[in-house]
Amino acid sequence: MKEIEKKTISFLGAMLLMITLISCSGGSKNGSHVDAREEESASLPQTDMTFSVDSTLSSLFWKGFKPGSEHFGKMPISNGEIAVNGAKIYGGYVTIAMNGIVVEDLQGDMATKLKTHLESEDFFEVATYPTARFELTNIPEEGVEWASLNELQGNLTLKGVTKNITIPLSSVENVEGVITVKSESFRINRTDWNVKYGSKSFFKGLGDKVIDDEIELSFLLVLR
């Protein structure tokens, strides 16, 4: 009987340990990690046609992680242009309105409090850096066909820091003059852009106040 009790206690202990580890790991992450590289040259060449961002339909979606929880929301892609000639793309950029952060997992005062904190100097310092920018790089002079695109490489400028990243795409459609681009979920290390608040990579003894260095992102981009 004592042997059974020992096994039962051991089993319960193991289950409690697993539950603790799961609860401390934060929310589940999707997509692959994207490395930040040195900035590369970018340009927007003159072409026969330029598509502009439809800011009413275009958004960057974000998710942040901390022990036992996550927060998520979106921010508007406020403007941008893509240089096109026929079925090919030759360059382009988009601008993200950092002062338009929306928190979707909280309501009322709690959402406002988190939004205010994310916009503060602790995180994205939007009073100084109201926008972020992604500008395409590494597009050959002869252009690239829309239909063959499965990733976009470009310079991401955030909080005054520019790094080159490659974003995986899930779909690109051109229907009756409307181009829709959807990305896969991907993750960047926020500290590469000098967003260090709550990072265990830079601060010790944070305990349960630690915030994961990775931010999960995805976007929906509509151009006309």
CATH number of the domain encompassing residue 149: 2.40.128.110
Question: Does residue 137 lie within any of the structural domains?
Answer: yes
CA–CA distance, 133 with 109 (Å, rounded to integer): 29
For residue 45, what pLDDT is reported?
85
Question: Does residue 192 lie within any of the structural domains?
Answer: yes
Question: Does residue 103 lie within any of the structural domains?
Answer: yes
CA–CA distance, 125 with 146 (Å, rounded to integer): 35
For residue 27, what pLDDT is reported?
61
- Report the DSSP pairing between strands 186-189 and 144-145: unpaired
Average pLDDT over residues 69-80: 98
What is the share, in percent, of the chain residues with pLDDT greater than 70? 88
Token pair listed for 166: 């490659």
Question: Does residue 195 lie within any of the structural domains?
Answer: yes
Cα 144 vs. chain centroid, distance in angstroms?
24
- Report the DSSP pairing between strands 178-183 and 131-136: unpaired
Question: Does residue 9 lie within any of the structural domains?
Answer: no
Question: Does residue 111 lie within any of the structural domains?
Answer: yes
Token pair listed for 13: 């202990």
For residue 4, what pLDDT is reported?
46
Give the least confident one: 38-52, 70-84, 118-132, 147-161. 38-52
Token pair listed for 44: 């927007």
What is the share, in percent, of the chain residues with pLDDT greater than 90? 78
Question: Does residue 78 lie within any of the structural domains?
Answer: yes
Three-class SS state of 28: coil
Work out how many domains the chain is built from and give that number: 1
Scanning the structure block, which residue is given the tokens 């998710």?
Answer: 63
Confidence class for position 168, pLDDT limits 50, 70, 90: very high
Give the least confident one: 116-130, 139-153, 190-204. 139-153
Average pLDDT over residues 29-57: 93
Containing structural domain, residue 107 = 35-223
11 pLDDT above the threshold of 50: no
